[in-house]
């Protein structure tokens, strides 16, 4: 049943052909049988899952169930969960059990979803391969010698391996879209500010955004429906009245039901995307993309054209500057955010030290991994006296230029399409000795976060070694429903999203 769509699972739950407890038990059994090969989970909460499933069955019996009631779910281990370990993939928080739920966790509890566990991730969400976790690398279910992408690789791998039908993630520079592409599933990062960051352990506050993983765009829409909403505890939460004047002018900022366009019957069923203008940035289709990814992306774009969409060439001239701008801004914010982990209030504390300063130094040196230390050092450097204007301020100016490029492109098109990753999944350990090469894997995704736009990745075929290829769709602010419908129509015409890796249960 976990292999079915959320609609089908929900229908089976309402018809009582399956119970929430049976679904949770099946999910837990699959984790036990498969996760030894994948390492997607840091924590499995069997007792909590079965208790939540029993509560979901009670709601179903009362007739008060919603679309997610009784659905097994995994949370990325960056979201605080009351009484359950929240490690952020780090030794620094290896024994930290949060005293409260993140806003997203609370909303999904209210929706009746059943959390079965917390998923592995790059330490403090810093990475593109899920290899920097203190708990070991997550492996790609399609080929366990390959990376699943990061930093939300555990969530993506758990969905791809059919251990859970849905999972949460976070996206700071592509951390939902990249692993979705490399693992052959659908993942969406919504408009910045639509999903609360309260209780989501911060990496780079102006870039971080919660997102959703599922097999299909329709399932992502159902999950994201329950995650979006105003949160007074988050000053960047947009869906409400506390908006500045500029944001008030943006149309359709009330996202409403994200399945509304999916549910609408098209005038011409053979051409359901008639009238949709898809922009193809010339910068995305220049050098850098591998031949196998290019072939799959071209075929997917041709399918969109067959579905009625019009293709328009657009330009994002400052896209090439997104990587350097991102890798100044994100580490600068990380340097500030991670200063709270000092061994005093919570988190790892060194066992031996001579004074307060020595405790700070040893606790942080022992608690943080190499990639986190690298980004803290870079961030501290660019914020230091004499370099702040030369690096940080200049990167913020580039950020504005990148956002303006997108605004100009959306004057010519409705959505933008291109590759999610320049290559299919690469081998474990292949890029760990060269961080810059790993950073370049973010080339198609980081600009979206700098601009705060919504974007998704959906399966678009397979490349070298039979590994998945993702197509990225980028929308204008609060254009999630349109993005999800475009991906849904593509998935109605193709079966890439239904393919599953062959795994032998232990």
pLDDT of residue 180: 98
Mean pLDDT by 10 residues, the chain (506 residues): 94 97 98 98 98 98 95 98 98 97 98 98 97 98 98 98 98 98 98 96 97 98 95 83 45 74 93 98 92 98 98 96 96 97 95 97 97 97 93 96 98 98 97 86 96 98 98 96 98 98 86
pLDDT of residue 434: 87
Domains of the chain, CATH where assigned: 6-264+453-498 (3.90.1300.10)
pLDDT digits 0-9 by tens, 457-479: 999 999 999 999 999 999 999 99
CA angle 426, 212, 145 (to 5 degrees): 20
Scan for tokens 């490690």, then name that residue.
87
pLDDT of residue 126: 97
* 266: CB partners within 8 A, 6+ apart: 272, 273, 274, 489
Closest CA to 33 of 120, 141, 122: 141
In Å, what is the CA distance from 284 to each residue of 207, 310, 318, 416?
Answer: 21, 18, 11, 10
CA pair distance 472, 454, nearest whole angstrom = 11
CA pair distance 151, 172, nearest whole angstrom = 9
pLDDT digits 0-9 by tens, 394-411: 999 999 999 999 999 999
- The secondary element (H helix, E strand) that includes residue 105 is helix 103-110
What the block records as the tokens of 361 is: 């130094």
Scan for tokens 């279910």, then name that residue.
141
pLDDT of residue 254: 59
Q: Would you name the residues annotated as active-site residues? A: 76, 151, 175
Determine how many CB atoms are found less than 10 A away from the CB of residue 139. 24
pLDDT of residue 239: 65
pLDDT of residue 506: 75
pLDDT of residue 427: 97
pLDDT of residue 242: 40
Sheet holding 210-214, edge to edge: 41-44, 114-119, 72-76, 166-170, 210-214, 186-189, 455-462, 468-475, 415-419, 277-281, 310-314
Residue-wise burial string across 481-495, b where 16 or more C-beta atoms lie within 10 A, e elsewhere: bbbbbbbbbbbeebe
């Amino acid at each position: 049943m976990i292999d079915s769509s959320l609609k089908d699972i929900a229908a089976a739950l309402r018809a009582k052909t399956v119970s929430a407890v049976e679904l949770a038990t099946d999910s837990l059994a699959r984790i036990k049988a498969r996760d030894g090969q994948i390492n997607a989970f840091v924590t499995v909460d069997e007792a909590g899952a079965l208790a939540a499933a029993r509560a979901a069955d009670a709601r179903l019996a009362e007739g008060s169930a919603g679309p997610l009631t009784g659905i097994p779910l995994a949370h990325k281990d960056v979201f605080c969960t009351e009484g359950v370990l929240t490690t952020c993939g780090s030794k620094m928080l290896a024994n930290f059990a949060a005293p409260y739920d993140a806003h997203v966790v609370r909303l999904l509890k209210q929706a009746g979803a059943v959390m079965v566990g917390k998923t592995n991730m790059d330490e403090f969400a810093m990475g593109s391969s899920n290899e920097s976790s203190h708990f070991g690398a997550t492996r790609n279910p399609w080929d366990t010698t390959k990376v699943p992408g990061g930093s939300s690789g555990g969530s993506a791998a758990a969905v791809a391996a059919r251990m859970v039908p849905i999972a949460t993630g976070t996206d700071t520079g592509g951390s939902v879209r990249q692993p979705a592409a490399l693992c052959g599933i659908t993942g969406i990062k919504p408009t910045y500010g639509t999903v609360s960051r309260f209780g989501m352990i911060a990496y780079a506050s102006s870039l971080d955004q919660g997102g959703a993983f599922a097999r299909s765009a329709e399932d992502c829409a159902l999950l994201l429906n329950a995650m979006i909403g105003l949160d007074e505890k988050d000053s960047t939460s947009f869906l409400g009245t506390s908006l500045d004047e500029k944001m008030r002018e943006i149309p359709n900022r009330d996202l409403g039901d994200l399945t509304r366009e999916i549910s609408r019957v098209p005038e011409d069923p053979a051409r359901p995307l008639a009238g949709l203008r898809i922009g193809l940035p010339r910068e995305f289709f220049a050098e850098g993309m591998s031949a196998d990814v290019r072939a799959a992306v071209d075929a997917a774009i041709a399918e969109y054209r067959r579905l009625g969409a019009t293709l328009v060439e657009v330009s994002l001239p400052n896209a090439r500057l997104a990587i350097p701008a991102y890798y100044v801004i994100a580490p600068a914010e990380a340097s500030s955010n991670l200063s709270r982990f000092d061994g005093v209030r919570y988190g790892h504390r060194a066992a031996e030290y001579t004074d307060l300063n020595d405790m700070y130094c040893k606790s942080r040196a022992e608690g943080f991994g190499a990639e986190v230390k690298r980004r803290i050092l870079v961030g501290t450097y660019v914020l230091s006296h004499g370099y702040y204007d030369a690096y940080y301020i200049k990167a913020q100016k580039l950020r504005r230029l990148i956002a303006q490029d997108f605004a100009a492109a959306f004057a010519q098109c409705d959505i933008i399409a291109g590759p999610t990753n320049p290559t299919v999944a690469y081998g474990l350990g292949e890029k760990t000795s060269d961080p810059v090469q790993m950073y370049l894997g973010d080339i198609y995704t980081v600009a979206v976060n700098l601009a705060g736009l919504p974007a998704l990745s959906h399966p678009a075929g397979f490349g070298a070694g039979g590994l998945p290829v993702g197509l990225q769709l980028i929308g204008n602010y609060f254009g999630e429903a349109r993005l999800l419908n475009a991906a849904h129509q593509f998935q109605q015409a193709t079966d890439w999203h239904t393919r599953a890796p062959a795994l032998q249960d232990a």
